[in-house]
Chain A
Amino acid sequence: MVTGQAAPGAMAAAGSPSVFLLAVNGQIESGQFPGFDDLYCKFCFVYGQDWVPTAGLEEGISQITSKSDVSPTTLVWNFPIDITFKSTNPSGWPQIVVSVYGPDFFGNDVVRGYGAVHVPFTPGRHTRTIAMFVPESTSRLQKFTSWFTGRRPEFTDPRVVAQGEGREVTRVRSQGFVTISFNVVTKDMKKLGYDVSPGDMQNPSLVPVMEGIHKY
């Protein structure tokens, strides 16, 4: 069943492209988690079966950051993300899943928030603020013990937050925000019939970018 996989690359060279590319860079800029300190975050990308990362890091983990006196609610990570995907199908467009961790009162590492957002599909610079949430304990007793032991409920897989299936069985509490900036470049999308830019968009700055990509 893996036979068809080598073909796209070869075809791309010969005239009309058979895949389109999506280059994403940017950074996980900051988070707002009032009352928490010394947080770090992890990110990973979730994408459909027709997507393949061609370059860059699919997952990452940031440094621990402490809040400053200047703005005591904002924790700045400025953690860069840089990844390129190739794909044949816009279905399953990549999502970035961010999970934030930090020590609790007893110094145990606990999760402080999960969140996910789709990578913007129009080229250009975008900033996204994700509202974060954490799963709740199923009972008061468990809430207490989990607080006491520092083993709070976590998603079995952070990717759960990028999908809708099975979420109905969970209860979550919202907690904090994370701001991510994306710079998105696409290649060959339009050639393959996927027009993502609004019809009236006047953005001359994109043209040289596209040209640059072509050369690349």
Chain B
Amino acid sequence: MREKLKAARSKAEITLLQEDPSPRPRRLKSIRERKTEVKLDKASDNDKFGEMQEDESHLPPKIKFRDSVKKLRQKSTFQNDFPSTEEAYNFFTFNFDPEPKSIKAGSRKRNELNEEEETEEDCVETHEEDEMDEDVCLVKGDDLFVIGQAAEDFLVVKPADCESYSEQLKKEKEFLFTPSMLAVPTSEKMPGNMQPRYLEDEGLYTGERPFVSQSNQNILENRILRQEQGKEWFGDDGKILALPNPIKQSSTRPPVFSLEEGIAPELETVYRKAIKITAANQYLVGPGDYQGPFQLDIDISGLIFTHHPCFSREHVLAAKLAQLYDQYLARKQKNLTKLLTDKLHALRNAVQYSIDSGGDGVPRPVAQQSIPEYKIEIRQTRRLRDAEQEKDRMLLKTIIKVWKQIKSLRDFQKFTNTPMKLYLRKEEVDQKLDEKAYEAEIQAEINELLEECMEEYEKKMEEYKTELQEWKSWKKTQKSKKKKKKKGIHEEEESVEDCDLGEERVKPIPPKMVSSLEIEQQVREKADNCRRKPGVPALIPELVLSGSVTPTELCPRAEVLRREDVKKRSAFIKVLFNSKEVSRTVTRPISSDFRVHFGQIFNLQIFNWPESLKLQIYETMGMSGTTLLAEVFIPVPETTVLTGSAPMEEIEFSSNQRVMLDHEGVGSGASFSFEADGSNKMTLMTSGKVSNSVSWAVGEKGIPLIPPASQQNTGIPSALKNIDAIASIGTSGLTDMKKLAKWAAEAKLDPNDPNNAALMQLVMVATSGEAHIPDFFRLEQLQQEFNFVSDEEFSRSKRFRLLQLRSGEVAEFRNYKQVPLHEREISEKIFQDYEKRLKERDVIDRKNYLDAHRAVVANYLQKVRESVINRFLIARRHFLLSDLVNEEEIPSLGSESPGILGLGLFKLAEPKRPLKPRRKERKKVTAQNLSDGDIKLLVNVVRAYDIPVRKPVLSKLQQPSKSSRSFNEMFAASPSAQSATDSPDWAFNQVLVRPFVEVSFQRTVCRTTTAEGPNPNWNEELELPFRAPNGDYSTHSLQSVKDEVFINVFDEVLHDAVEDDLERGSGIRTRVERHWLGCVKMPFTTIYFQARIDGTFKVDIPPVLLGYSKDKNLGIERGYDSVRNLSEGSYITLFITIEPQLIPGESVREKMNEMLKKFDTQEDEKLLQAAAKYEAECTSKFPSRQCLTTVIDLNGKTVFITRYIKPLNPPQELLDAIPNSSQTAAELVARYVSLIPFLPDSVSFAGICDLWSTSDQFLYLLAGDEEEHAVLLCNYFLGMGKKAWLIIGNAIPEGSTAYVLTLEQSQYVIWNPSTGCFYGQYDTFCPLQNVYCLISCDNIWFNMQEYDSPVRINFDISKPKLWKSFFSRSLPYPGLCSVQPEELVYQHSDKAAAVELQGRIEKILKDKIMEWRPRHLTRWNRYCTSTLRNFLPLLEQNQGKDVEDDHQAELQKQLGDYRVSGFPIHMPFSEVRPLIEAVHSTGVHTIDVFNVEFALAVYIHAYPQNVLSVWIYVASLVRNR
């Protein structure tokens, strides 16, 4: 067939080639494809081979296509199974015109209709079609298909197949199955010959099955059973396997009601704000967290001795009797006997009942089972009851016995010491009834015992029988053995006998039957012993104290002595709180009945949860002193025990003291006897009871004064509660495992119930002998396997330690590079600093602080800072998208920011070179690829105004003149500066001052050239290199740079150094001296954050510069006067920037604020939302202006800012100082505030996080930054009745800061709280550059004006257009309570301490100056020092202002001919180091004239609350020759 096919194909090919030879290669390809196709056909149609062959016979040669078509047509009439290969080939290879296509479609349709098997082939064909199309175009032009064939030629019509309904049903039956709803018999569900087993009945826990309706269950069972392994799905009980119902009965979540459903109002949930915990201040209880005192009331009502050395024998007995009687009463109250008897009756009834009911019908298994249990319990109860009854009876007997003893003793000694009397009350009983009950009881008991005995007998009998059996069998074998042996060898006989003898068994003895008589006898005996005889009246003892005591005069001598002794004695009790005595009771005599009544209540005011409460009982004996009898610990009351509801408790005590007395008293610890012959000795120790009650007091408003629970034992109890498995069953606090196990066994808990799982596990552990549960558990117990070195090695290794510290980001090691590989290369020195720091953390260094309070505060601040830094480190890990990805902000149409869509479009049209060019932003450098030396600090010193000028006096004195002395004296008498102008020298020495500026930064010093005159113009640019700490130029590292730029102004003074007049002609030799005039300090972070600093700054000039004066009247350049008239002082114009410009990066503070805002707040949610909205609105309008609504307090909580503002009282002392002038008072208060020191390293602290402390905290800590100063000052001003606001703004050089604004006589005044200076609104030299918002106690106003410079804005906050207020008509002020205290309490200043401190500082500074001059001799001029010392208090009094400039003259008068240069320095006091720095920076010590002398005086003025103002006066003196 293949051959044929091939032949046919080749033929066809040839034909086609003949017809159109050109596209040969394509043709071939298609043929090849065709071939595969054919093969495929064949494979699929193998079974139809026969038919195929039939078709083959009809294969016509290709050339005669028309014929073939014709034949095809013929064929199609009878053969329509499938097209032959040839047909198929034709079908595809030839060009089908539209009409034949329909033929094709027709044929296909036909095929599909009839032969489904052909679809596969069809598919292949259609696939081929595409290629065929290609062929089609190749054979285009052939008109092979000019046949008039119609579609119907290929169609065969057949009726549709239809199955009858019944047939369909039949078929469906084969496939479909409808499970029946009838129950399946159990036998079908179980495997053959097995009985269903009910686990539940066997006592196993099965759990509750989920509910499924019975019909559904049946359907499912039927369905399952149809399957092959269906039976696997059924359990032993013939039910479908099911897990227990997972649905809990009670819902774990509270039901949620929606308001629409109208629930009862009392069920509605109400939102409540979390309450602030006051104990938030972790490190010390600051005044803000003053919580106490709490109060503990200790009520000591009295003391009763149960034994005392002075007890007489009668007393001893009486005490015993009292004790017994107490016991009797207690027992009577409990009445165990009655209880047990009742129980016994109940049990007996129950048994009776179950037996009776059992008799009726079939005995229920449960009842049957419980009868023996009941019986066991009856037995136990009976035993218990008997014991109790016996005890009762014994007690009664002893009471009577002791009473008899007492009576006999009283008779014997012929006097009575105690008023005790015992009555025995008889209670008559109905004899008959009683007897009956008695008898019944005995009978019942006998019966039970009999039964018991019978049981036992049976048991024993059983045992006996088995034993007997064994014995018999043994005997038999023995006998047979013996027989055998006798027959056997005789030699062994003996030995065998021996061993037989050893194994000889005793014949068991049959148990004896116990006779009922015997039992009855037993029972009756017992009843006699422990029970009241029937008919005998019941005895009820009654103890009364109505007896009379024999008066002393009737007593024998020994007794009199005893009584005297007792009278001498008295007792008192000390109350010890935490082992410290806090109070003691009055001393009260011991009464004759050895009772002491105190009846005192002690109120202990405490701060902390008590550790221990103790009472000490003391006894005093006449004059001979006191002895401690005993100590009693009192439990600290529960928090629920409050005064008024606390019961009296008696606490027993006893003492081991030995007392022997020489009178009737029996003594203590000494043996004595009641018998005449001294036998039966007894020894008693002093003992007694204290009746007291301890409770918590209740405060005024009904609040219990209990210390916070958090202070109790640091949460151990709560931890216990968490792991308490027993809590799950409702009880808790049980810790005795054994008892618990016992209880669990008795309670018959179902061990399989999951509810009890935790408990059962616990019980398992407890009972499995492994009673010792380790009191720890280990996390990662396999850790050890993975440690690559042992822990010891790890901790020993210096390298690992270094690596660990570095990865822990410990400050010293944070950027440590290249940790050495070898231990030996790491020197110990590396750790020394760190260890030192660790050690010193808690040690308060008194040396540096000189003041204990400040040392404590510094320590506290250090801790706060550490905790803040830790938070900061966490915050730093918290990245925002903007930290990682630089992305253009969404441009908006209205905003000022550059946007392409909005204004940006117009920018395109802007002129390229505008007439008024704007400053172009320099390219900012991300601090990543920087290294040392890349960054430079540029300081442009432009000019200065009003530099102090040398006093003409000085210039005069400079001149070495023979007649100088007398002239000077005369001059000193008339200290007028003007007079010097007349002197000829003045004209010669024209130069007033030769100032230059020295900039020092990071130990690099640069200076300008020297200019001349009081208004010098330098215009010089100084370049200082910047080095980042540890070479780390990352943003956070730069933010924490603490270095400051010092800009010092000096005067260069030239001295003629020529000693000799003769040399004067030959040469010029001058000595250059520099005199410090003042300085400006600028923290680097300010420059870094501000990018550039441009402005005129006030030079910090000491109030008095010896030899210099603020020259006013010489007025050469008065042009500035009109501008400057409000302020005095020297000014310097600077421009400072960093090259290249660094991106300040988002301050971590902001990020942290954001983080902190997420939690930790007490504010109302609505308020916070409003605040956020307000801030967003403000910043969107003025992005550069800071809008402050919430701040973080010292506890890290967000607080609304207005809460900080509240009128507060300034120290009365300051107000009293100037009673009438409010202006001066305000200045004084401002000065007071400015004297409170800044945080020692406020720079780093402020950069990381800004914490606002309240004013009282601030005053307590005596340290804070601008905000705290400003808040305090503002509060003071408000307290003084001024109108004051807090200004949040930007100032130079502090950067973002807070100032205070006041309204004085319709004029606005701006106060700098950190210097105490004030400025008018229009003062150009005001350091405040921008005003962002104003804050008062009830509102916030945001500056909405175009400008924010104070000079250009209007401070009238009533204009809503200019100031946008936070609280307005739409959001009224809710009346937020202030965080500030009601009133500030000031400690009075400690003058003596100030004086002492003054002396110490002076000494330290003198030592330092000598230290700085190692190569020179440092002489101290005492006259000068004392003079200076006199100046200083005056300076303080005048606040450094308008001092008459007569220091110079004064000095001249005192010292004579000296050239003096010096000045006072004024600083607030925080610690010594800044003072030393300040003195050092002035460079007084640098003078190296050989005959120089120095003077130094210190004055400290103490203001209230330990605020200290320090004045240091330094001067150098050179004697003029």
Flag if B900 contacts A1 (CB, 8 Å).
Answer: no
Q: Quick check: is A7 within 8 A (CB to CB) of the other chain?
A: yes
Flag if B825 contacts A7 (CB, 8 Å).
Answer: yes
The distance in angstroms between the C-alpha atoms of A89 and B890, with both chains bound, is 45
CB of B712 to closest CB in A, whole Å: 41
The distance in angstroms between the C-alpha atoms of A1 and B888, with both chains bound, is 41
Question: Which of A87, A142, A157 is in CB contact (< 8 Å) with B890?
Answer: A142
Q: Quick check: is A112 within 8 A (CB to CB) of the other chain?
A: no
Closest to B928 in A: A157
Which residues of A have CB within 8 Å of B1481? none
Question: Which of B815, B821, B926 is in CB contact (< 8 Å) with A157?
Answer: B926
Flag if A89 contacts B821 (CB, 8 Å).
Answer: yes
Q: Quick check: is A69 within 8 A (CB to CB) of the other chain?
A: no
- Helix, strand, loop or mixed for chain B's interface? loop
Question: Which of B829, B879, B891 is in CB contact (< 8 Å) with A3?
Answer: B829
CB of A44 to closest CB in B, whole Å: 9
Flag if A159 contacts B888 (CB, 8 Å).
Answer: no
Question: Which of A7, A145, A166 is in CB contact (< 8 Å) with B879?
Answer: A166
Flag if A19 contacts B813 (CB, 8 Å).
Answer: no
The distance in angstroms between the C-alpha atoms of A139 and B888, with both chains bound, is 11
Closest to B806 in A: A49
Given A11-B825, A139-B890, A156-B885, decide whether A88 and B880 contact each other with a Cβ distance below 8 A: no
The distance in angstroms between the C-alpha atoms of A4 and B929, with both chains bound, is 24
Closest to A1 in B: B816
Which residues of B have CB within 8 Å of A168? 879
The distance in angstroms between the C-alpha atoms of A59 and B929, with both chains bound, is 10
Given A7-B825, A137-B887, decide whether A148 and B817 contact each other with a Cβ distance below 8 A: no
Given A1-B1030, A149-B900, A167-B884, decide whether A49 and B890 contact each other with a Cβ distance below 8 A: no
Flag if B819 contacts A142 (CB, 8 Å).
Answer: no
Flag if B817 contacts A49 (CB, 8 Å).
Answer: yes
The distance in angstroms between the C-alpha atoms of A52 and B817, with both chains bound, is 9
CB of B879 to closest CB in A, whole Å: 3
Q: Quick check: is B826 within 8 A (CB to CB) of the other chain?
A: yes
Question: Which of B821, B880, B884, B891 is in CB contact (< 8 Å) with A155?
Answer: B884
Flag if A88 contacts B879 (CB, 8 Å).
Answer: no
Q: Quick check: is B538 within 8 A (CB to CB) of the other chain?
A: no
Which residues of B have CB within 8 Å of A138? 881, 887
Flag if A155 contacts B825 (CB, 8 Å).
Answer: no
Interface size on A, residues (CB 8 A): 43
Most buried by A among B817, B877, B901: B817
The distance in angstroms between the C-alpha atoms of A1 and B834, with both chains bound, is 11
Flag if A169 contacts B900 (CB, 8 Å).
Answer: no
CB of A195 to closest CB in B, whole Å: 14
The distance in angstroms between the C-alpha atoms of A138 and B929, with both chains bound, is 28
Question: Which of A5, A151, A160 is in CB contact (< 8 Å) with B884?
Answer: A160
Given A138-B881, A169-B879, decide whether A156 and B827 contact each other with a Cβ distance below 8 A: no
Which residues of A have CB within 8 Å of B812? 1
Given A4-B827, A170-B884, decide whether A145 and B822 contact each other with a Cβ distance below 8 A: no
Flag if B886 contacts A156 (CB, 8 Å).
Answer: yes
Q: Quick check: is B736 within 8 A (CB to CB) of the other chain?
A: no
Question: Which of B817, B885, B888, B929 is in CB contact (< 8 Å) with A149?
Answer: B888
Question: Which of A88, A154, A169 is in CB contact (< 8 Å) with B820?
Answer: A88
Q: Quick check: is A129 within 8 A (CB to CB) of the other chain?
A: no
Q: Quick check: is A80 within 8 A (CB to CB) of the other chain?
A: no
Closest to B1030 in A: A1
Q: Which of B818-849 contact A (CB under 8 A)?
A: 818-822, 825-827, 829-830
Interface size on B, residues (CB 8 A): 35
Q: Which of A146-192 contact B (CB under 8 A)?
A: 146, 148-149, 151, 153-157, 159-160, 165-170, 192
The distance in angstroms between the C-alpha atoms of A141 and B881, with both chains bound, is 17
Q: Quick check: is B143 within 8 A (CB to CB) of the other chain?
A: no
The distance in angstroms between the C-alpha atoms of A154 and B886, with both chains bound, is 5
Q: Quick check: is B428 within 8 A (CB to CB) of the other chain?
A: no
Flag if B820 contacts A159 (CB, 8 Å).
Answer: no
Flag if B900 contacts A145 (CB, 8 Å).
Answer: yes
The distance in angstroms between the C-alpha atoms of A51 and B881, with both chains bound, is 29
Flag if A88 contacts B883 (CB, 8 Å).
Answer: no
Which residues of A have CB within 8 Å of B827? 3-4
Which residues of B have CB within 8 Å of A52? 817-818
Flag if A8 contacts B820 (CB, 8 Å).
Answer: yes
Q: Which of B843-893 contact A (CB under 8 A)?
A: 877, 879-881, 883-888, 890-891
Most buried by B among A4, A8, A154, A170: A4
The distance in angstroms between the C-alpha atoms of A89 and B826, with both chains bound, is 14
Flag if A153 contacts B885 (CB, 8 Å).
Answer: yes
Which residues of B have CB within 8 Å of A156? 883-886, 926
Flag if A165 contacts B877 (CB, 8 Å).
Answer: yes
Closest to A154 in B: B886
Given A3-B827, A4-B826, A157-B926, decide whether A145 and B901 contact each other with a Cβ distance below 8 A: yes
The distance in angstroms between the C-alpha atoms of A168 and B819, with both chains bound, is 31
The distance in angstroms between the C-alpha atoms of A87 and B886, with both chains bound, is 33
Interface string of A84-124 (1 = CB under 8 A from B): 00011100000000000000000000000000000000000
Flag if B820 contacts A18 (CB, 8 Å).
Answer: yes
Flag if A7 contacts B891 (CB, 8 Å).
Answer: no
Closest to A89 in B: B819
Flag if A192 contacts B821 (CB, 8 Å).
Answer: yes
The distance in angstroms between the C-alpha atoms of A169 and B1030, with both chains bound, is 29
Flag if B818 contacts A88 (CB, 8 Å).
Answer: yes
Given A3-B827, A49-B806, decide whether A8 and B818 contact each other with a Cβ distance below 8 A: yes
The distance in angstroms between the C-alpha atoms of A5 and B819, with both chains bound, is 8
The distance in angstroms between the C-alpha atoms of A18 and B806, with both chains bound, is 20
Interface string of A51-81 (1 = CB under 8 A from B): 1100000010000000000000000000000
Most buried by A among B815, B818, B827, B888: B818
Q: Quick check: is A26 within 8 A (CB to CB) of the other chain?
A: no
Flag if A50 contacts B825 (CB, 8 Å).
Answer: no
The distance in angstroms between the C-alpha atoms of A189 and B884, with both chains bound, is 35
Closest to B1143 in A: A156
Question: Which of A50, A155, A165 is in CB contact (< 8 Å) with B818?
Answer: A50
CB of A1 to closest CB in B, whole Å: 6
Flag if A50 contacts B890 (CB, 8 Å).
Answer: no
CB of B1249 to closest CB in A, whole Å: 20
Which residues of B have CB within 8 Å of A145? 888, 890-891, 900-901
Given A4-B830, A165-B879, A169-B881, decide whether A142 and B818 contact each other with a Cβ distance below 8 A: no
Q: Which of A1-15 contact B (CB under 8 A)?
A: 1-5, 7-8, 11
Which residues of A have CB within 8 Å of B803? 89
CB of A157 to closest CB in B, whole Å: 5
Closest to B802 in A: A4
Most buried by A among B806, B880, B886, B926: B886
Which residues of B have CB within 8 Å of A139? 890
The distance in angstroms between the C-alpha atoms of A170 and B886, with both chains bound, is 11
Which residues of B have CB within 8 Å of A137? 887
The distance in angstroms between the C-alpha atoms of A145 and B815, with both chains bound, is 41
CB of A116 to closest CB in B, whole Å: 14
CB of B360 to closest CB in A, whole Å: 79
Flag if A155 contacts B817 (CB, 8 Å).
Answer: no
Flag if A148 contacts B900 (CB, 8 Å).
Answer: yes
Closest to A168 in B: B879
Flag if A1 contacts B928 (CB, 8 Å).
Answer: no
Closest to B826 in A: A4
- Taking A18-B820, A169-B881 as given, write out 9 further A-B residue pairs in contact, using a Cβ cutoff of 8 Å, ordered by the A residue number: A1-B812, A4-B830, A89-B821, A154-B887, A155-B884, A160-B884, A165-B877, A166-B884, A170-B881
Q: For the complex of A and B, list the 10 residue pairs with the smallest distance between their C-beta atoms, beginning with the closest.
A: A166-B879, A153-B887, A88-B821, A135-B885, A169-B881, A153-B885, A151-B888, A154-B886, A7-B825, A157-B928
21 pairs, A vs B, C-beta closer than 8 Å: A1-B812, A1-B816, A3-B827, A4-B818, A4-B826, A8-B820, A11-B825, A18-B825, A88-B820, A88-B821, A89-B821, A142-B888, A145-B901, A149-B900, A151-B888, A153-B887, A154-B887, A156-B883, A157-B926, A166-B879, A192-B821
